[in-house]
Amino acid sequence: MKRHPILTVEDVSKTYDGFRAISKLHFYLFEGELRTVIGPNGAGKSTFFDLISGRAKPDIGKLEFGDADLTKLNEWQINRLGIGRKFQTPSVFAEHTVRDNLLLSLKGARGVWAALFHRLDSTQRDRIDELLKLIRLDDKRHWKAGQLSHGEKQWLEIGMLLATEPRLLLVDEPAAGMTDEETHRTGELLLSLAGRHSLIVVEHDMTFVRQIARDGQVTVLHQGTVLCEGRFDDIQANEKVREVYLGRGK
């Protein structure tokens, strides 16, 4: 049976002031896949996320999520379709508890006041408990988010993203600034989400990339286009990749 991609990117280009940040890009992601995207500074990784999430519009090309034409939708509409983005720096509500941060993000939450003060139904309670376990912050549910470590804040924000029940998660350098142990835990978390969600993870840390690309494909971006795609070991051995990226000592 032919699989249909959940995300289709064909011949997409995006120019800023005459500079091609994305150039004739082709990219396909399948349901439940965890794809890792690497590439040197300026390769176009953030612009790629900007295009998928609607923050920027392509000059030309096809950008589809299932049957939806993303080029015709704004950022909010794309988010409503089920594409959630996690930026590099965590932005949690520091003065609220871990639990309340999740609660405020729950799909269908009715504004801050109502979300915090109306009684949760059992489905919502179960979902919060499930998320707290998944992000391993169950024992810190009553902590203020501002008291968490950097790594824990990142996990909380991933939890907040999951609370919106996205089908596709765009995750930008989740391991940046984390300890080795936190990095490994983050990898385990992302791997556990694959299957139920589709994920694109942009990352620089090669130990982390090796971990999360265990069962999946790595896409290498260079000068706004795909230099190559494949298993981590093949990518690492690829001469072109070594030249443009890995050889630079990152």
Residue 23 or residue 97: which is nearer to ligand ATP going by CB? Answer: 23
d(CA 136, CA 133): 5
**Closest distance of CB 40 from ligand ATP, Å:** 7
CB 6 within 8 A of CB 31: yes
Among 161, 164, 147, CA closest to 190? 161
**Closest distance of CB 47 from ligand ATP, Å:** 3
Among 81, 83, 61, 85, CA closest to 71? 61
Residue 47 or residue 219: which is nearer to ligand ATP going by CB? Answer: 47
Tell me what percent of the chain is helix, strand and coil, each rounded to the nearest 5.
Answer: 40, 25, 35
**Closest distance of CB 242 from ligand ATP, Å:** 18
CB 90 within 8 A of CB 37: no
Kindly determine how many residues on this chain lie close enough to bind ligand ATP according to the rule CB under 6 A.
Answer: 10
Query: Which x/- pattern, by CB under 6 A, does the window 12-51 give for ligand ATP?
Result: ----x----x-----------------x-xxxxxxx----
**Closest distance of CB 202 from ligand ATP, Å:** 7
Site residues for ligand ATP per CB under 6 A? 16, 21, 39, 41-47
